[in-house]
Amino acid sequence: MSKYITVSLDKRGVSCVAKLLDDVAPRTCTAVWDALPLSAPVFHGKYARNEIYALLPAFAPADPGKENTTITPIPGDLCWFSFDSDDLGNPAYGYENTTGTGTTGAIVDLAVFYGRNNLLINGDQGWVPGNVFGAITENLEEFAAACQDLWMGGARGETLSFNRL
């Protein structure tokens, strides 16, 4: 049976519905589903283009590894990225490397892609493939407008939340 989640920008009061892609990303879907609800401050992508995301401490018993990866996500894709604190410790990214763990999977990036022409490349690290684990099935247009407002109006005070439907 298919599993669905809601993805919300809480302050803006907008949500969409996404289907988990258990058939092609079972480990990633299980990791996310078992951890729900999840919520964290939202960021807008600096390099990928039409992306919003939340950074969370690792929440799964084990990192799912690579499955159903892409470097060219399409509108409506939900992606999982695993980073360690050293990956994101460069001041160019705007994050502080406060933990210095150097442990793979210490940080999970859950991302939502809302528009076309995305390319997951980082000037310091090269290609950054993500696990596509979900696809938005309802309300992408309104959610994309809220994401664009996030880009132009700022992300401060906004949270990105993932909940079971």
Cα 139 to Cα 102: distance, rounded to the nearest angstrom: 38
Q: Cβ(135)–Cβ(23) under 8 Å? A: no
- pLDDT of the residue at 48: 81
What domains does the chain contain, in order, with CATH numbers?
4-154 (2.40.100.20)
Q: Which residue has the tokens 């990956």?
A: 87
- pLDDT of the residue at 43: 92
- pLDDT of the residue at 90: 55
- pLDDT of the residue at 21: 98
Q: What does the pLDDT look like over 123-133, one tens digit per residue?
A: 777 899 999 99
Q: Cβ(7)–Cβ(82) under 8 Å? A: no
- pLDDT of the residue at 103: 47
Q: Which two tokens stand for residue 161?
A: 């939340």
What are the phi and psi torsion angles at 123 (to 5°)?
-60, -30
Task: Specify the amino acid at residue 34.
Answer: D
Considering the entire predicted model, what is its pTM?
A: 0.89
Give every residue of the chain whose pLDDT is below 50, as ranges. Answer: 97-104
